[in-house]
Structure 1
């Protein structure tokens, strides 16, 4: 069998090219740090790696979503902290105004300071986030959450749905609260309030409201107390019941709730006792009532009693409002804790993704270095063989 010079040349050239290709491949792997440079290197492993990378990308999107939610909740918590300070200061001012040593001019000054707190609270209720969206307006976040109505009273004008965000595979959370839940509502278990109409003509004042028996029949129901002059004797009745003699002072009890009364009511006067959630729950209305009664001079015993009753009511309304804010802050804190927990879980999941991805595509540098040396020797040998083959010709012996 004869082997031509051309055949030997082609074989040597093919061997050298193959060795050079293998050498370049291991060089690319070392340079990139990846075992799989092209999908053809290991199609199955590369498919698995692509699936893992997609899962990582989704996890990264949830990470960004949690950052956005955390920023919004942190801002809300800061605003609610300021709201608590406003409520506390307003309560201090009302306690001062309740003192009999205060003059009408002093109370008018307190009303002016309450006006400043009122405007500050309105600004907090209409806070915007970093994107210019109103924080407490729900989905209608391009307009203020609170605005003055036709009667001049501030009311909630935002949307009743809380914005939501998906922060993990199956976890959808509320991004904060709507303003109505914070400034226009209280919990159903809020403290009892008494409400005496401004039309009362007597000097009747109410004091402490105490819960005496939570198991009493009808506990939690509102009740009305009416006063009338029956045969020259001042009497009262509860919820349209039998008339009883009124004495100053006295305590009236019904359905496990007792209220202290003092002063002399006039015929036709009345009083209503109900849970806080059944009375005024708009904190701006509370401010407005307080400012109105402090700005109006009390010229007689009846107007002084009306002022005292109104101040007691608004102070209890502030207490209920503050309790509601603190409850809301607790909910915000719980949501922030959940975000921290999800971040920790996501961190562990990210580490698992990285480990799985590394096992699939990352390069074993020890093995690669060994292969690099082998391929280099093979390439050099192929190149030397090619050079030597070129000198193998019969013409060199003629």
Structure 2
């Protein structure tokens, strides 16, 4: 069998091309740092790598979402801290205004300071984040959630809380709507006493206090009504929210000249009364969540009595009763703000935990991707040297072979 020179040349060139292709492949792997440069290098590993890379991208999106959520919650926590400070300042001013030694001018001065706190609270309630979105407007975050309507503050935002997905299985609230913060009270806030606006007597109250927790009916409203006159004597009766006397009846005589406050106990609650009533006067004792729950309305009511002079005993009683009610409502509002702030803090802590889990997951994905497609440099360098020697040997063999011809011996 004869082998032609053309066949020898073709085989030699094919061998050199194959050796050069293998050499360039290893060179490309070393240059890129990847074992699987093209899917054809390892189809199974390339397919698995695509799935792992997609999962890693989703995890990174959740990590970016957690950054955004943390910024929103941190701003909310900062604003709520300022709100709690403002409510505490308002409570301090009302305690100061309750002093009987103050004149109308003194109370006007206190009212001026209280109005400053009031305006501060409105500003905090309409606070925005770094993107110009209002923190407490729910999903309606493009406009101010609290506006003045008829001289009163009203909430016009959304009643939902914005949520954001921070992980595949966790949808977290990144804000709370303003109604839940500024116009609500915490569950179990108890009862609040309020003197009816039409009272003409000078009765003032203190409380209510809880004297028997087991007997308290959280959702029951009460009304204490007065009857009689100074000549025949005064009497009181405690009625339920529907105007029916309690069973057993809670009623009795009321002596406005008593040296000690008149203490009335009913269904686990106690109220202390002083001053002289008028027939038909009444005091309502309502569950905190059934009465005024608006922080702004509380301060507005206090401002109304502080900015008006007290010309008689009835005005003085209205002042004391309103301030007493306002202080109780401020306590409830502060508790509500602190409860919301605690919830925000818990969510920030949860973000730290989810961040830690997400970080571990990202490391696992990186390790899996590395195992699938990354290059073992020690092995690759050894193969690079081997391919280089093979290519050089192929080139040397071709160079030696192409010089072999019978014409050299003629």
User: Could you say which TM-score interval applies, normalised by the shorter chain?
Assistant: over 0.9
Please tell me whether the aligned partners of residues 219 and 257 of structure 1 are also in contact (alpha carbons under 8 angstroms).
no
Residue of structure 1 in register with 2:330 after alignment: 318
Residue of structure 2 in register with 1:107 after alignment: 107
Equivalent residue pairs, number: 397
- The 3-state SS of whatever aligns with 1:142 is coil
Please tell me whether the aligned partners of residues 207 and 260 of structure 1 are also in contact (alpha carbons under 8 angstroms).
yes
CA distance in structure 2 between the partners assigned to 1:101 and 1:216 by the alignment: 39
Q: CA deviation at 1:386?
A: 1.1
Residue of structure 2 in register with 1:93 after alignment: 93
Alignment gaps of 5+ in structure 1: none
> What are the equivalent positions in structure 2 for 1:198-277 lying under 5 Å apart?
198-216=197-215, 218=217, 220-229=219-228, 232-239=232-239, 240-241=244-245, 243-247=251-255, 248=258, 249-277=261-289
Residue of structure 2 in register with 1:174 after alignment: 173
Q: Compute the TM-score of the two structures, normalised by the length of structure 1.
A: 0.97
CA distance in structure 2 between the partners assigned to 1:161 and 1:219 by the alignment: 26
1:196-229 Cα shifts (integer Å, max 9, x gaps): 0232111101013211112227455111000010
CA distance in structure 2 between the partners assigned to 1:163 and 1:18 by the alignment: 62
- The 3-state SS of whatever aligns with 2:172 is strand
Alignment gaps of 5+ in structure 2: none
Residue of structure 1 in register with 2:384 after alignment: 372
Residue of structure 2 in register with 1:196 after alignment: 195
- The 3-state SS of whatever aligns with 2:157 is coil
CA distance in structure 1 between the partners assigned to 2:128 and 2:216 by the alignment: 47
1:240-268 Cα shifts (integer Å, max 9, x gaps): 43552113421111111111111111111
Q: CA deviation at 1:10?
A: 0.8
Residue of structure 1 in register with 2:403 after alignment: 391
Q: Compute the TM-score of the two structures, normalised by the length of structure 2.
A: 0.95
Question: RMSD of the alignment, in Å?
Answer: 1.2
1:298-339 Cα shifts (integer Å, max 9, x gaps): 111111111011011111111100000000001001111111
Please tell me whether the aligned partners of residues 20 and 391 of structure 2 are also in contact (alpha carbons under 8 angstroms).
yes
Please tell me whether the aligned partners of residues 188 and 275 of structure 1 are also in contact (alpha carbons under 8 angstroms).
no
Residue of structure 2 in register with 1:340 after alignment: 352
CA distance in structure 1 between the partners assigned to 2:297 and 2:25 by the alignment: 77
Residue of structure 2 in register with 1:39 after alignment: 39
- Which structure 1 residue ranges, 4+ long, deviate > 3 Å from structure 2? 217-220
Q: CA deviation at 1:148?
A: 1.2
